[in-house]
Amino acid sequence: MSVIVTNAKNRIAYTVVRSLGGKGIPVYTADFVPLSMSFASRFSKGHFIYPSPFRDQAGFIASIVKNARRLKAEVLIPVFEETFLLSKYKDEISRHVRMAVPDYDQVLTAHNKDRWMPLARSLGVPVPRTFAAAELRKAGPEVAALTYPVLVKPNQGGGAWGIREAATERELEAILSGDTWFGRPWERFSVQEKVAGTVHCVAMLFGRGELKAHVVYRQLRDLPFTGGQATLRVSVDNPAAVGHLRRLLERLAWHGICQADFIVDEATGIPYLIDINPRLWGSLVQGIASGVDFPYLLYTLARDGDTSRVDGFTKGVVTRWVWGDLRTFPEALKSAGDKMAFLREYFRLFNRKTAFDDLSLRDPLPFLTFGLDFLAKMVGQKTIHPRSHDSLEGVWE
């Protein structure tokens, strides 16, 4: 069955395209950005442009339906936040093309920290102490007796958007003194005590409340460098974190993909749940390289209504997002102890032990296309740190 993959501009979609196209499945790619990396892939049978799902939701839905019928596509795999919109209109979309996505209320529960945190606590899942930013602005941060440093974080969001660290009560008061934060009302933000430790991520695929597959990995380097999207990671085991996410998703009777971030406390080893992504995630290639082909499993789940179970995954597998990792170079070099050893590791792009999100010698044009799009954004925005393309930055309700 042929498949449509949305959000073709990013490496997540490209990972899906490589997985399915490499198995001979006809793949059509789609986005609202003409210079999308997956459009250039040898595994993309064709592509189309849809209206931005963030500016024209009705136009986006209509375009998906029209093109699914035109291409006679049987399966739709949404990639990023457009997943939430497609979930919202799942009944309408499913009359024309098959998907494996949770119900919209489940998506909102998993995407909103103020909804999943109470549920997690009720299930015995450790979460850092967290307070509503709007309430702290009224009562003053001293009433919470916070342990510093703390993080100001959006209740919805991802990729380190809207996050700022405050090392002292005075710094937090200065942040909270503004009328808004990142141009958004304070009701959309929380203040969370920072847990010192390493980030372990757990990704799972569920079929109607039943766990089908999972993988765990540790973030080794991030963009931004002080914490954000993983640019370098390694697959590891963390049974406690796996158990926590599994318990939560079983309670939600989850159907589809989900990924969560945990901070493993360096003093106690306790994994604290800090974020949930009810969609495909940036380090998707980690699962494939570790023996869990999430894109194909998700495809068969949508196609057949069920998929095979995968028990376990390979530990010690390293994966890398090249374009993202190159952007971390100045800060990574500055923090490195042995500069020469770091340089040898950093610029060793090709070896049999590392899999890449965005770089393939068999399919090089997507990597170059992403670079051209990034350069175009730099020129258009007149900055070396351009904003990502149009998005609502987590506004779903």
**Number of structural domains the chain divides into:** 3
Q: Please state, in angstroms and as integers, the Cα–Cα distance from residue 238 to each residue in 112, 128, 203, 343, following that order.
A: 24, 18, 12, 30
Same structural domain for residues 183 and 75?
Answer: no
Same structural domain for residues 344 and 282?
Answer: yes
In this predicted structure, the answer to whether residue 391 has a pLDDT above a threshold of 80 is no
State residue 260's pLDDT score.
97
Q: Please state, in angstroms and as integers, the Cα–Cα distance from residue 150 to each residue in 168, 186, 301, following that order.
A: 8, 16, 40
pLDDT class of 110 with cuts at 50, 70, 90:
very high
Same structural domain for residues 142 and 263?
Answer: no
Q: Cα(341)–Cα(256) distance, rounded to whole angstroms?
A: 41
In this predicted structure, the answer to whether residue 225 has a pLDDT above a threshold of 90 is no
| DSSP string over 255-317 | -EEEEEEEEEETTT-PEEEEEEESS--TTHHHHHHTT--HHHHHHHHHHHS---------SS-
Domain hosting 186: range is 129-193
In this predicted structure, the answer to whether residue 123 has a pLDDT above a threshold of 70 is yes
pLDDT class of 228 with cuts at 50, 70, 90:
confident
Q: Within a 10 A sphere around the Cβ of 138, how many other Cβ atoms?
A: 10
CATH of the domain at 51: 3.40.50.720
Residues near 113 by Cβ (< 8 Å), separated by ≥ 6?
A: 130, 153, 155, 156, 190, 275
pLDDT, average across residues 71-86: 96
Range with lowest mean pLDDT among 38-42, 346-350, 371-375: 346-350
Same structural domain for residues 22 and 165?
Answer: no
Q: Does some domain include residue 298?
A: yes
pLDDT, average across residues 164-179: 93
Same structural domain for residues 208 and 345?
Answer: yes
Same structural domain for residues 189 and 227?
Answer: no
Same structural domain for residues 153 and 71?
Answer: no
Choose one of 176, 193, 210: the last residue of a domain.
193
Residue listed under structure tokens 């005075």: 170
Q: Does some domain include residue 297?
A: yes
Q: Does some domain include residue 306?
A: yes
Q: Does some domain include residue 387?
A: no
Residues near 197 by Cβ (< 8 Å), separated by ≥ 6?
A: 263, 264, 265, 266, 272
Residue listed under structure tokens 């306790």: 270
If DSSP codes are grouped into helix, strand and coil, which group holds residue 246?
helix
pLDDT class of 27 with cuts at 50, 70, 90:
very high
Residue listed under structure tokens 């060793």: 348
Same structural domain for residues 170 and 221?
Answer: no
CATH of the domain at 262: 3.30.470.20
Q: Cα(142)–Cα(350) distance, rounded to whole angstroms?
A: 52
Same structural domain for residues 204 and 351?
Answer: yes
Same structural domain for residues 135 and 220?
Answer: no
What are 249's two structure tokens? 């998703």
Name the nearest CA neighbour of 369 among 14, 35, 30: 35
Q: Does some domain include residue 89?
A: yes
State residue 160's pLDDT score.
66
Strand partners, 152: 164, 191
pLDDT class of 159 with cuts at 50, 70, 90:
low
Choose one of 142, 167, 193: the last residue of a domain.
193
pLDDT class of 307 with cuts at 50, 70, 90:
very high
Decide the pairing of beta strands 150-154 and 189-193.
antiparallel
- Burial of residue 392 (CB within 10 Å: 0-12, 13-18, 19+) is middle
Name the nearest CA neighbour of 186 among 139, 226, 143, 230: 139
In this predicted structure, the answer to whether residue 271 has a pLDDT above a threshold of 90 is yes
Same structural domain for residues 182 and 223?
Answer: no
pLDDT, average across residues 64-83: 96
Q: Does some domain include residue 372?
A: no
- Classify the phi-psi angles of 182: left when phi > 0, otherwise alpha if psi is within -120 to 50, otherwise beta: left
Q: Does some domain include residue 266?
A: yes
In this predicted structure, the answer to whether residue 273 has a pLDDT above a threshold of 90 is yes
CATH of the domain at 163: 3.30.1490.20
Q: Does some domain include residue 365?
A: no
In this predicted structure, the answer to whether residue 397 has a pLDDT above a threshold of 90 is no
In this predicted structure, the answer to whether residue 361 has a pLDDT above a threshold of 70 is yes
pLDDT, average across residues 171-194: 91
Range with lowest mean pLDDT among 235-239, 349-353, 393-397: 393-397
Same structural domain for residues 182 and 205?
Answer: no
pLDDT class of 390 with cuts at 50, 70, 90:
low
Choose one of 174, 193, 212: the last residue of a domain.
193
Strand partners, 277: 259
